[in-house]
Amino acid sequence: MTYLEELKEEIREEVPEEVMLTKIEAEGSDLVLYSKNISKLINDETIIKNLAKKFKKRFIPRTDESMLQPPEKAKETIEEIIPKDPGLKSIEFSPSFSRVAIKAEKLGLIIGKNGKTIREITTKTGWKPQLQRTPKEEPQTLKAIRKILIEEEKERKKILKGFGEKIFKEPPEEIDWVRTTSLGANREVGRSCFLLETPESKVMLDAGVKIDGKDSDKYPYLSSINFSLDELDAVIVSHAHLDHSGFVPYLYNYGYEGPVYSTKPTRTLMTLLQKDFIKIAKREAENPPYDEKSIKKQILRSIAKGYGEVTDITPDMRLTLQNAGHILGSSITHLHIGEGAHNLVYTGDLKFGYTEMLNPAHTDFPRIETLIMESTYGGQEDRQQDTRKSKKELVKIIKETTDRNGTVLIPSFGVGRAQAIMLILEENHRKNNFNVPVYVDGMIKEASAIHTAYPEHLKKNVKKRVLHDKSPFESEIFKMVDRDQRDEITDRGKSVILSPSGMMSGGPVIDYFKKLCGDSKNTIVFVGYQAQGTLGRKIEKGNKEVVLEDQNGELTEYKINADVKSISGFSGHADINELLGYYKKINPKPEKVLVVHGEESKTKNFAKSLNYKFNVDTISPRNLESIRLK
Interaction site with Zn ion (CB under 5 A):
241, 349
- Distances in Å between the Cα of 115 and the Cα atoms of 63, 110, 128, 309, 428 are 18, 8, 12, 20, 37
Min dist CB 349 to Zn ion, Å, is 4
Q: How far is the CB of 210 from Zn ion (least distance, A)?
A: 13
What single letter denotes the amino acid at residue 152?
E
How far apart are CB 172 and Zn ion at their closest, in Å?
34
List alpha helices for 126-201, DSSP H. Answer: 140-151, 153-167
Q: Residue 398 is inside which H or E element, if any?
A: helix 387-403
Q: How far apart are CA 629 and CA 343, in angstroms?
A: 10
What residues are paired with 364 via a beta bridge?
587
Q: Which is nearer to Zn ion, 188 or 316 (CB)?
A: 188
For the bound state, the minimum distance from the C-beta of residue 109 to Zn ion, rounded and expressed in Å, comes to 36
Q: Closest CB to Zn ion among 153 and 206? A: 206
Question: Between vectors from CA 614 to CA 608 and to CA 619, what angle results, nearest 5°?
Answer: 40
* Sequence-distant (≥ 6) Cβ neighbours of residue 261 within 8 angstroms: 234, 235, 236, 237, 302, 303, 304, 305, 311, 313, 319, 321
Per DSSP bridges, beta strands 370-374 and 592-596 are parallel
Taken as a whole, the chain contains a residue count of 630
Q: What separation in angstroms does the CA of 441 have from each of 276, 280, 447, 512? A: 14, 16, 11, 10
Q: Nearest distance from residue 454's CB to Zn ion, in Å?
A: 17
Which CB, 61 or 325, lies closer to Zn ion?
A: 325
As measured in angstroms, the least distance from the Cβ of 317 to Zn ion is: 24
State the Cα–Cα distance between residues 233 and 304, nearest whole angstrom: 16
Instruction: Give the residue nearest to Zn ion (CB).
Output: 241
Closest CB to Zn ion among residues 138, 349? 349
Between 241 and 342, CB nearer to Zn ion? 241
Strand order in the sheet with 21-27: 21-27, 30-35, 58-63
DSSP, collapsed to helix, strand or coil, labels residue 328 as coil
Residues pairing with 557 in the sheet: 547
In terms of CB distance, is 133 or 241 closer to Zn ion?
241
Query: Which residues lie closer than 8 Å to 558 by C-beta, 6 or more apart?
Result: 513, 514, 517, 518, 545, 546, 547, 548
CB of 333 to Zn ion, least distance (A): 14
Region for residue 473 given its phi and psi (left: phi exceeds 0; alpha: psi -120 to 50; beta: otherwise) = alpha
CA 112 to chain centre: 29
Minimal distance, residue 626 CB to Zn ion, in Å: 25
Q: Which residue's CB is nearer to Zn ion, number 11 or number 189?
A: 189
Q: How near is the Cβ of 449 to Zn ion at its closest, in Å?
A: 20
Nearer CB in complex with Zn ion: 63/530:
530
Nearer to Zn ion by Cβ, of 7 and 327: the residue is 327
Name which of 127 and 454 has its Cβ closer to Zn ion. Answer: 454
Q: In the complex with Zn ion, which residue's Cβ is closer, 57 or 417?
A: 417
Nearer Cβ to Zn ion (27/349): 349
Distance between CA atoms of residues 191 and 184, nearest Å? 5
User: Long-range CB contacts (< 8 A, 24+ apart) of 141-144?
Assistant: 141/268, 141/269, 141/271, 141/272, 141/275, 141/446, 141/450, 142/268, 142/450, 142/453, 144/271
Closer to Zn ion by CB, 21 or 458: give it: 458
Please give the span between the terminal C-alpha atoms of the chain, in angstroms, as a whole number.
Answer: 33
Minimum distance, C-beta of residue 457 to Zn ion, in the bound complex (Å): 15
CB of 602 to Zn ion, least distance (A): 15
Provide DSSP, 588-600: S--SEEEEESS-H
Least Cβ distance, residue 323 to Zn ion (angstroms)? 14
At 446, is the secondary structure helix, strand, or coil?
helix
Q: For Zn ion, give the closer residue by CB, 318 or 573.
A: 573
User: Who's near 271: CB < 8 A, 6+ residues apart?
Assistant: 141, 144, 145, 295, 298, 299
Q: How far is the CB of 96 from Zn ion (least distance, A)?
A: 35
Give me the numbers of helices (H) and strands (E) for the chain, helices first please: 21, 28
Closest CA to 560 of 427, 409, 374: 409
The CB-of-190 to Zn ion minimum distance in angstroms stands at: 10
